[in-house]
Amino acid sequence: MLIWTGSIRRESESVLFLDRDGVINRDSPHYIKHWGEVEFYPDALDSLRWLRERGIATILISNQSGLGRGIIAWKDFWEMHERMVAAIREHGGDIMAAFFCPHRPDEGCSCRKPKPGMILTASHLFSFPVERTFMIGDRWKDVAAMIQAGGTGVMLNREGRSGCQDHGAVGLPRVPVYPTLLSAVTRLPWSETAPPASSAMNRGDR
Ligand SMILES: [Mg+2]
Ligand SMILES: [Zn+2]
């Protein structure tokens, strides 16, 4: 599991998990291999600004098996990541942290979605309850990872793909589906994600 951190979480902040490819930038069946292939969805940049303005910290959770397959060069990968974060910040948004699984499916790791490893590690590292967070992704694997971790999965269906609601086939409950990231982030019930006051109270008890 690769972990990149960009900023410290404030205890007052809600947290949102986002898949990367197909959510922030256009996905490709040939993998997104370097910065030249990154094409941001305009509403994604607006969404990240909207989130930052409201004090909602964003964490990327992304399978990148192209690394383990030798299709994506490590140097290109990290350069692309740094440039993506810089572009997001330039637009007024931010990324607090990013978790990537570099493994191939046959390696049987515990981080590749639909396994919940990256989400659970993130909640542990940044001390927030997964039950109070959402994960927005464009594949059932994203939703499944979040449900296994104990949080709420939200499906993005940008291309109007049919079968997006067909989670019954993979044993998942029905989840909310939105056509754009902006429509999802502006409509999610953020009041339910407010951090519990207990952490401050516990300290006071001691
Ligand atoms: Mg995706
Ligand atoms: Zn992995």
We report the CATH number of the domain holding residue 120 as 3.40.50.1000
- Examine the pLDDT at 13 and tell me if it is beyond 90: no
Active site members: 19, 21
Domain count, the chain: 1
Instruction: Find the 109 Cα to ligand 1 centroid distance in Å.
Output: 19
Instruction: Find the 139 Cα to ligand 1 centroid distance in Å.
Output: 6
pLDDT tens digits, 100-113 = 999 999 999 999 99
Nearest listed ligand to the Cα of residue 104:
2
203 pLDDT band (50/70/90 cuts)?
very low
Q: What is the pLDDT of residue 161?
A: 66
- Examine the pLDDT at 197 and tell me if it is beyond 90: no
153 pLDDT band (50/70/90 cuts)?
very high
Greater model confidence, 198 or 142: 142
Residues in the chain, overall count? 206
Q: What is the pLDDT of residue 200?
A: 46
- Examine the pLDDT at 4 and tell me if it is beyond 50: yes
Task: Report the alpha-carbon distance of residue 56 to residue 43 in Å, rounded.
Answer: 17
Instruction: Find the 195 Cα to ligand 1 centroid distance in Å.
Output: 27
Q: Cβ atoms within 10 A of the Cβ of 171, count?
A: 9
Instruction: Find the 21 Cα to ligand 1 centroid distance in Å.
Output: 4
CB neighbours of 61 closer than 8 A, spacing ≥ 6? 17, 18, 19, 98, 99, 113, 118, 119, 122, 135, 137, 142, 145
- Examine the pLDDT at 184 and tell me if it is beyond 70: yes
Closest-CA residue to 2 (of 85, 63, 69, 89): 63
Which range of 13-17, 31-35, 174-178 scores highest in mean pLDDT? It is: 31-35
Average pLDDT of the chain, as a whole number: 90
Closest-CA residue to 156 (of 171, 139, 141, 173): 139
Nearest listed ligand to the Cα of residue 121:
2
- Examine the pLDDT at 21 and tell me if it is beyond 80: yes
Nearest listed ligand to the Cα of residue 102:
2
- Examine the pLDDT at 93 and tell me if it is beyond 80: yes
The CA angle 164-84-32, to the nearest 5 degrees, is 55
Task: Report the alpha-carbon distance of residue 185 to residue 24 in Å, rounded.
Answer: 12
**Residue 195 domain boundaries:** 2-205
Task: Report the alpha-carbon distance of residue 72 to residue 49 in Å, rounded.
Answer: 29
- Parallel, antiparallel or unpaired: strands 2-5 and 97-101: antiparallel
Instruction: Find the 121 Cα to ligand 1 centroid distance in Å.
Output: 20
Nearest listed ligand to the Cα of residue 181:
1
Instruction: Find the 191 Cα to ligand 2 centroid distance in Å.
Output: 32
Q: What is the pLDDT of residue 122?
A: 96
